[in-house]
Structure formats: structure tokens, C-alpha cells
Amino acid sequence: MKSCMFVLVLGVALCAAEIVHQTKPGKTETLNCGITGASKWLRGSDLLHSVHPGTGMPLRGKGEIVQRSRMKQGRNLEISRITPQDAGLFTCSGNRQEEHHRLVVSSASVSPSARLEVGSEATLQCEVSGLPQGAAVEWVRPGGGQRHRTSRLQLSSVALTDAGSWECVFSVGGKTLNETVTLQVTEPGSKTTAAPPTTRTTEDANTATSLDSEAHDPGEEGLLGLPWWGWVAVGGGCLVVLLWVLILVMYNRMTRRRRRFMKMRNADLLRPKQYCRCPGGPTAAAGQRGQKTSAPPITAPDYAGP
């Protein structure tokens, strides 16, 4: 009996557990629903998307987030261009089952700049939206030292010991999440160029985090930043364009020649023909052909006697 009760309580606890998603403003996040045949997504108590069980027609709720979200693969919810106002509790349901997802939108920054001089002032700001009630936000000094239970930390006089990675730590659903900013501190008048600050997000403060920038293999880039296959594609495209130009030129020449030939032929057909006309007409010419021409008479010259 006790075993059955334990299994029942464990099952209820697992069903009530929240799946935590951490993201940044402006990103796109997909909430994957593990319920087969899920047909409805809610944010709090507001309807986002659902599918009519009878007709299968999609139904949409109201609100600005509805315009930036959609259902994928029939049961997953994709939210684009995320804002801090989107954070909170989401629920997918179907087949008399529910699954809860908590969207946490977080970001960390330092002002006026992450490159500071000794004695200057700086403010570390950690903005986290979507945390459950009572969740705390802390700033942890470099090296895991002193903790400051606040989301906004004011450094009145920066020292060299303040240089390094500061972590904004908060816990949600049994998971420790954080945001990190890196401070570069130099002596006044120092010409040392500080490396640009990096910001990274982790799902566990005790695990290694991945940097936002990724290393590139220099061997993959060729002439002018294009790999060899890029130049092959460019050359092939140019060859195709040249062939098309040549075909068009030949076609235009043949068309012009054909038009010129047809024009000359039509002009010959329309020109009147000239025939030879003999004097007296055809009948007189035929009669003259049947007669013989007589020689003129010979006259003797006059003779004068002595």
C-alpha cells in the first residue's frame, strides 16, 4: 500500500513539474510539448493557440504574443522576437493531460562600459522576467567569492580585484541559471587594450559555459574570403550567363535577316511587270512577218548628149 502511494505521489509530482526554458530578448524559443495529441496552448489562463477537436481548424487567441507565435508539428509552440513581457508560465494540454513550461527571459549588462579604470564607478544590472514568486537574484564576484543578493549592483570605486567574470545567479524549478558579464579594469592612463567583454548564458552555475563567438577554421576560407567551391559556383554562373547572351545575340541576328528577306520578297511581288509593245499591235506585226520586202526600183541617170 505504501509503495502504491509513493508511486502515485511521484507521478503527480512529475506531472506538476515545470519545464524551464531560458532565453534572451529578441531570440526565438520553441516549447516542445511531450503530450501526444496536444491541441491547446495557454499562457497563464489566456488562450494562445488551439485546434478544434471536431473540424481540426486552428483557433487563435488575442494578444500581441499570438502574432509572434505559432504551433509547430501540431503540438509544439514557437515564439519569435521574444520580449521580457512574454515570460511566464505556459501550459499545453490534450487527452486530459497537462504539461507546464516556464519561459525565463534574462539579460545582464554593465554601465557605462565593461572597460573600466581603477576608481571609476560601474553598475551591474541583471534583468530576469518569468521567475516564480519568491525566487532570488544574486550577483557573485569573480572566483565565486562574495554574493550580493540584488539584481542591481553598484560599484562605487572599482579596484583591480573587481576584474573578471561576474555572474548573475537565480534558481528556477530546481535548476540554477545565470548570466555573465566580464569586467576589464586597468590603471588610469594605462595604454593596455582590454579584450572586448563577452556575455554567455548557462543552465548550471557549476557547469562550463559556451562563448557566444565561435572559432572559424582559416583553412575553410579562400581568395577574398570565399572557399574554392564558392569560386566554382561563381564561374559556373558566369558561364551560363555568357551562353544565354550568345544565344540571344544569334537569335536576334537570324530574326533580322529573316525579316529583311521577307521584306524584299514582298516588294518584288508588289512591283508591276513591264512588257514590250510592238507598233501596230500584235496583228500588224504578224502580217508583216508573212510579206516579202521588195527592193526599190533602179533608175538610170539622165544622159546629156554633146
User: Tens digit of pLDDT for each residue in 178-220?
Assistant: 999 999 999 987 654 444 444 454 444 444 433 343 444 444 4
Based on the fold, state whether residues 113 and 94 are members of the same structural domain: no
Query: Over 60: is that where the pLDDT of 305 sits?
Result: no
Q: Is residue 194 part of a domain?
A: yes
Binned at pLDDT 50, 70 and 90, residue 127 comes out as: very high
Mean pLDDT, residues 282-296 taken together: 53
| Structural domain count, the chain | 2
Based on the fold, state whether residues 194 and 146 are members of the same structural domain: yes
Average pLDDT, the chain: 79
Query: Over 70: is that where the pLDDT of 27 sits?
Result: yes
Predicted confidence (pLDDT) per residue in 83-93, tens digit: 999 999 999 99
Say what the pLDDT of residue 112 is.
93
CA distances from 215 to 170, 212, 222 (A): 29, 10, 17
Mean pLDDT, residues 17-30 taken together: 94
Cell 511581288 identifies what position?
A: 269
Query: Over 70: is that where the pLDDT of 234 sits?
Result: yes
**Cβ neighbours for 279, distance < 8 A, ≥ 6 positions apart:** 285
Based on the fold, state whether residues 51 and 124 are members of the same structural domain: no
The total number of residues written for the chain in this structure: 306
pTM above 0.85, yes or no: no
114, burial (CB in 10 Å: exposed 0-12, middle 13-18, buried 19+): buried
Query: Over 50: is that where the pLDDT of 243 sits?
Result: yes
Query: Over 80: is that where the pLDDT of 227 sits?
Result: no
Say what the pLDDT of residue 268 is.
72
Phi, psi of 295 (to 5 degrees): -75, 145
Instruction: CATH number of the domain at 127, please.
Output: 2.60.40.10
Q: Is residue 303 part of a domain?
A: no
Cell 534583468 identifies what position?
A: 127
Q: Is residue 10 part of a domain?
A: no
Last residue of a domain, one of 159, 174, 202: 202
Last residue of a domain, one of 68, 87, 105: 105
Binned at pLDDT 50, 70 and 90, residue 290 comes out as: low
Last residue of a domain, one of 202, 235, 258: 202
Mean pLDDT, residues 106-131 taken together: 94
Cell 504539461 identifies what position?
A: 99
Binned at pLDDT 50, 70 and 90, residue 57 comes out as: confident
Which range marks the domain in which residue 36 is found?
A: 18-105
Q: Are the CB atoms for 91 and 126 separated by under 8 Å?
A: no
